[in-house]
């Protein structure tokens, strides 16, 4: 199967992964219209896509439109699908941080579940050609020391974040089974790379280490994540958009299992900082021990393969943050500092 979709609604396009997705796609495909619907929460930054907006200011054709709005807004979503004759919805929009979901789960239920439902309903009424749901390995829960998550692993989410993502996946599945909607679900492991909000492990540790501040490692630091460069994830989503089987679920992983301590010491070594900056703090409640992905289905059906080694990708990511300190200064607004003080203040 090969689809040629030209008119796409991307939700959450000002966030980490979708801004990389939009930039990488529009760099290569001049036949596309991408409408980006984003609420601009604390995690959404319009400046991630400023190169596209600057081109528009110079009256150059970019194939890009930005709409500020909420995916829960049914009238707005229906209007956008009709007005732009949208063929595919790619739902990246989400509340995405596990720690915030522990602190206050309400926005996760609203955006991740209700928002996905609104998009599905609007897509059903519009007779959309593809609904692609960007999901996560966290819906599978946790692994022991052995084994990998496959697409058949039962869903067993442990945090409010992962429970909200699993709920959305089930709604997407139901719309395929009940209404025959052409859906694809992609489930990816932990991403890192440019534009990641500095509440997530890698950019948080980079920015703290620069200032010689303590690096908070939850519990014993032996929790394992399978790290993937964001552009490898974006390539996977593009392949799933072009070739994914209707009703299919595809796992994507980076083939790079690392413990938190391995990641943090690698960052300290690359920055030339002492390991004594590491502080073991109170563990995250419900902390999943290990994630690791079997992505052989995506490899077989989509020819997906991660291309960047973790060590090279990490070095490039550190360099990106070093060259983009102004970006960091602008995203670290009051609400970010407030959350970080409340969360870490109680955990030292
Ligand atoms: P992010 O938090 O960086 O960005 C989320 C974006 O969604 C922001 O631009 C935000 O403004 C927007 N948004 C939030 N609520 C919205 C709403 N109600 N309406 C419209 N826009 C809204 O997230 P991310 O890390 O880029 O993750 C993107 C997607 O990928 C999410 O669905 C996430 O679950 C999934 N995912 C993330 C990872 C990861 O490691 N970051 C791994 C696997 C899957
Ligand atoms: P995170 O980036 O929040 O992603 P996720 O929880 O979705 O996997 O965290 C990655 C790992 O790093 C996870 O095992 C929790 C751990 N971690 C810390 O030890 N300290 C921190 O300050 C953060 C943010 C995460």
pLDDT tens readout for residues 23-36 = 999 999 999 999 99
pLDDT in tens, 21-78: 999 999 999 999 999 999 999 999 999 999 999 998 898 888 999 999 999 999 999 9
Can you give the CATH number for the domain in which 53 is found? Answer: 3.40.50.720
Domain assignment present for residue 340? The answer is no
Ligand 1 atom with least separation from CA of 191: 40
Residue 297 forms part of a structural domain = yes
**Mutation to probe ligand 2, out of 260, 288, 317, 336 (largest number of atoms < 8 A from CB):** 260
Instruction: Note whether residue 172 is domain-resident.
Output: yes
pLDDT of 348 higher than 60: no
142 within 8 A of 157, measured Cβ to Cβ? no
pTM over 0.85: yes
Q: Classify residue 218: in a domain, yes or no.
A: no
* 14 Cα–ligand 1 center, Å: 9
- Does residue 95 belong to any structural domain of this protein? yes
Residue among 230, 251, 256 nearest 240 (CA):
251
Q: Is 337 within a domain?
A: no
Residue 105 placed within a domain: yes
Query: Which has the higher per-residue pLDDT, 57 or 20?
Result: 20
pLDDT (tens digit, 9 = 90+) per residue, 282-310?
999 999 999 999 999 999 999 999 999 99
As for how many domains the chain has, the answer is 1
Strands 257-259 and 33-38: unpaired
**In the block, residue with structure tokens 């219209």:** 33
CA of 140 to the centre of ligand 1 (A): 18
User: Distance between CA 328 and CA 19 in Å, rounded?
Assistant: 16
Residue 276 belongs to some domain of the structure: no
At 42 the pLDDT is 95
User: What is the 316 CA–ligand 2 centroid distance (Å)?
Assistant: 20
Tell me which residue range forms the domain holding 241.
Answer: 7-196+228-255+286-309
Percent of the chain with pLDDT over 70: 99
């Amino acid at each position: 199967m090969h689809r040629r979709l030209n008119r796409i609604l991307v939700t959450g396009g000002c966030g980490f992964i979708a801004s990389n997705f939009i930039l990488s796609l529009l760099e290569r495909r001049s036949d596309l219209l991408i409408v980006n619907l984003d609420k601009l929460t604390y995690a959404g930054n319009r400046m991630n896509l400023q190169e596209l907006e600057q081109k528009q200011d110079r009256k150059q054709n970019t194939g890009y439109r930005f709409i500020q709005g909420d995916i829960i807004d049914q009238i707005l979503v229906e209007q956008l699908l009709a007005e732009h004759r949208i063929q595919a919805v790619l739902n990246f929009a989400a509340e995405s941080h596990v720690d915030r979901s522990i602190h206050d789960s309400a926005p996760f239920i609203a955006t991740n579940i209700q928002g996905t439902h609104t998009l599905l309903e609007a897509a059903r009424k519009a007779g959309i050609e593809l609904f692609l749901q960007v999901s996560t390995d966290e819906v599978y829960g946790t692994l022991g020391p052995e084994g990998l998550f496959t697409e058949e692993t039962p869903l067993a989410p442990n945090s409010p974040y992962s429970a909200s993502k699993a709920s959305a996946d089930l709604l997407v599945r139901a719309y395929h089974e009940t209404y025959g909607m052409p859906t694809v679900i992609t489930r990816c492991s932990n991403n890192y790379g440019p534009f990641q909000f500095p509440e997530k492990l890698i950019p948080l540790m980079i920015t703290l280490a620069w200032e010689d501040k303590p690096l908070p490692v939850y519990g014993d630091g032996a929790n394992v994540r399978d790290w993937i460069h964001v552009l490898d994830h974006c390539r996977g989503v593009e392949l799933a958009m072009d070739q994914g089987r209707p009703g299919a679920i595809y796992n994507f992983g980076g083939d790079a299992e690392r413990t938190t301590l391995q990641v943090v010491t690698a960052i300290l070594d690359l920055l030339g900082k002492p390991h004594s900056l590491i502080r073991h703090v109170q563990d995250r409640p419900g902390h999943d021990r290990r994630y690791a992905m079997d992505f052989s289905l995506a490899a077989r059906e989509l020819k997906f393969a991660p291309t960047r080694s973790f060590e090279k990708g990490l070095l490039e990511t550190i360099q990106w943050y070093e060259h983009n300190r102004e970006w960091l200064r602008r995203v670290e607004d009051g609400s970010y500092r407030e959350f970080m003080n409340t969360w870490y203040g109680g955990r030292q």
